[in-house]
Structure 1
Amino acid sequence: MAELLEDGDIYFLYRPRLAEEHVDSLDEVQRLLVVLHPWQGRHLRLLVVGRKRLPGIDEHDRFWAFVDEVVARPEQLHETLRARRYPTRTRGEREQPATRPAAEGAYVIARHDDHTHLAYQLELPLPSNAL
């Protein structure tokens, strides 16, 4: 039997590669990010995912991620997720694009025997067969 550890809202974001105005493929994505916003008043966590895609619905892929930032309020993530300019030695000033939303839904983290699972259900975007 699984023990519920946490539940809440989940947001999937991506950051385009430098100088990419429109993203049409994973080659144009720099990083996949996940925000966990628990319903029980805990801090929000920003996770950086090691792969730039989500697992397929019927797949049981294992993904690694690390917690990049923990904040008390959503507004505090604004600085991390916004576009920013930075100087380089060889190319002058560059602009890193702001993150963009990819999907959102609800999640649970549950302990099962000696390991834990993150399970989520997307609410947006709607599945193409729901239209």
Structure 2
Amino acid sequence: MDKQYSPWNRDLFADCAVCNIGTADMIFISGMGSEDVDSGQILHAGDIEAQARYAYDRIVAILDHNDADLDHVARVVAYLTDMRHKDIYERVQGEYFAGLDMPVHSLVEVSALAWPGMLVEVEVTAVRPH
């Protein structure tokens, strides 16, 4: 299994794990939020749209690093700290997946995320055929 880390989270968790399953690779991307990739500082305080875009930008970058794209995404799980942000989150998600078949998706409201100030966290599972 190949694991990838951002500079700030090396000792905490992997951003991504890639597992070869014969004819394809499964790409597991951990919950991406608005943590700065270099410092871990939460960016875009109070701005759900900017936090969601930052999370999806990180997901796109990780997929690209693994020769994949959003069309390879099979499953998305998103966590919101306030379901009143649902429409904004879904609009941003729709922009990223525009023109693609939407993957299966779960949207869950939670009382808090890993770091204070995070409003959204998105995890993805993708399948990239060889």
Larger of the two Rg values belongs to structure: 1
**Higher RCO (CA 8 Å, separation ≥ 6 residues):** 2
Structure 1 or 2: larger helix share?
Answer: 2
